[in-house]
Structure 1
Amino acid sequence: MELLSIKVKKGRLNEAAGAFHTYVVLKVQNLKSTTIDRRGSQPCWEQDFLFEISADEKGFIIELWKKGLLWDSILGVLWIPLATVEHATDEGPGAWWTLHSEVVKSGNEIHGTKTPTSHEILLDVYFALPFDIHEDFDCRGNQRKAPLQDTTHSHQDTHGNLSSMDSGLNMKENKLRTDILLQS
C-alpha cells in the first residue's frame, strides 16, 4: 500500500464557467472525495486529500463540476496514470493540467482522456514517502542515496526493538489504567 497525496489548488476556467460555482471530484479506486464549491473563473480550493492505495492501480480520475439549480454538470475530466506520479516528502508547487471532455476506455478500464477543454486545474500529486526514508530523498522525490525500491527501512525496522509497553500510546494507556485503579 502507498499513500497518494493530492492537493487541489486552483483552477483557470473560461469566462462562461466563471459565473458558476464549481467543485472538484477525485475518484481513486473505489473512493470518491469532493472539494468545497467556489465561484469564479479562477477558483481557489487549496484542499488536501490523502488516499491509501494498492500498487496495482493504473490511475485515478479528477473531475470538474458546475453546480446547477436542479442538477450539476461536468465541465471536464482528467485521468492521471499512477506511473507518472513521483515520490516526495512534502508538498510542491504543483502543475497545471488541462481538463478534457471525453474519457478513453477499453471495456470497463480507463486508459486516458481526450478532447481538451479550455479549463485547467492546478494540482500537486505525489506519493508520500514513509517518515523513516526521507533522508534518502529530497523534497520532490529525487534520489539522494539509495533508490526507493532498494530501501528496506520500515516503521517496524526503526522501532522494532521497542516493546508494546514502551510505545508512547501504550504508556499513556497504562497511566490512565493506573489512575483509574487508584481512584477506585
Structure 2
Amino acid sequence: MELLSVKVKKGRLDKAADAFKTYVVLKVQNLKSTTIDRRGSEPCWEQDFMFEICADGKGFIIELWKKGLLWDSILGVLWIPLATVKYATDEGPGSWWTLHSEVIKNGSEIQGTKTPTSHEILLDVYFALPFDTQKDLDCRGWHRGTPLQGARCSRQDTYDSLSTMESGLSIKESELRRNKDQADESNFAKARWARAIQKTLQETMCSRVRFFKTYKTTSGFGFGQADV
C-alpha cells in the first residue's frame, strides 16, 4: 500500500466561468472525494486529500464540474498516471494541468484523456514518505523540481534507492546482532565459570565435613578423625 497525497490548489478557466460555480472530483481507484464549490474563472480551492492505494495501480481521474440549478455538468477531465508521481514528505508548488474533454478507454479501463479544453487546474500530487527517507533520497539527488506532466517514470528508481537503504540497514542490523551475540556468549562463559568455581568450593567443603567430625572435649571443641 502507498499513501497518495493530492492538493487541489487553483483553476484557470475561460471567461464564461465567471457566472457559475465549479468544484473538483477526485476518483482514485475505488475512492472518491469532492472539493467545495467556488465561483469565478480563477477558483481557489486549496484542499488536501490523502488516499491509501494499492502499489500496482495505474492512475486516477480528476474531474472539473459546473454546478447547475437542476443538475451539474462536467467541464473537463484529467487522467494522471501513477508512474509519473514523485515521492516527497511535504507540499510543493504543484503543476498546472490542462483538462481534456474526452477519455481514452481500452474496454472499461481508462488509459488517458484527449482533446484539450481551455481549462487548467493547479495540483500538487506526490507519494508521501517519512521525513528521514526523503532526506536520504535528497542526498542521493532526488528533487521535486521536475513537473509531473510529461515526467518520466521514477517509481522504479525510487524503489531501487529504498532497496539499497534497506540493504544497508540489514547489514547494520546484522553487525549489531553479531556484536550482541558475542557479548552474550562472553557473559554466558563468565557465568558458567562462576558456577563451576562455586560448585567446586561447595564440593570441597562437603568433603571436609565428611572427612572430619566435630566433637566436644573438656577443653572445648576440637576435631577428631572420622569413623572409617
TM-score by length of 1: 0.77
Unaligned runs of 5+ in 2: 144-159, 174-228
- Does the 8 Å contact 1:3/1:52 carry over to 2? yes
Identity %: 80
Aligned partner of 1:77: which letter?
V
Query: Which SS does the other structure have where 1:83 is aligned?
Result: helix
Separation of aligned partners in 1, 2:26 and 2:37: 14
User: In the alignment, what sits opposite 1:70?
Assistant: 70
Query: Which SS does the other structure have where 1:16 is aligned?
Result: helix
Query: Which SS does the other structure have where 2:138 is aligned?
Result: coil
1:128 aligns with 2:128: yes
Separation of aligned partners in 2, 1:16 and 1:149: 51
User: In the alignment, what sits opposite 1:148?
Assistant: 162
Aligned partner of 1:137: which letter?
L
- Does the 8 Å contact 1:25/1:63 carry over to 2? yes
Question: 1:89/1:71 Cα in 2 relative to 1: closer, same or farther (>3 Å)?
Answer: same
- The CA deviation at 1:132 is 4.2
Q: Quick one: higher RCO (CA 8 Å, sep 6+), 1 or 2?
A: 1
Question: Alignment length, in residue pairs?
Answer: 151
- Does the 8 Å contact 1:89/1:138 carry over to 2? no
Deviant stretches of 4+, over 4 Å:
none
Paired residues for 1:1-184 under 5 Å: 1-138=1-138, 142=142, 147-152=161-166
Query: Which SS does the other structure have where 2:14 is aligned?
Result: coil
- Does the 8 Å contact 1:96/1:121 carry over to 2? yes
Separation of aligned partners in 1, 2:23 and 2:163: 36
- The CA deviation at 1:45 is 0.3
- Does the 8 Å contact 1:99/1:117 carry over to 2? yes
Q: CA RMSD in A?
A: 1.9
- The CA deviation at 1:133 is 1.5
- The CA deviation at 1:60 is 0.2
- The CA deviation at 1:147 is 1.4
Question: 1:134/1:104 Cα in 2 relative to 1: closer, same or farther (>3 Å)?
Answer: same
Which entry has the higher C-alpha Rg, 1 or 2? 2
Higher helix share: 2
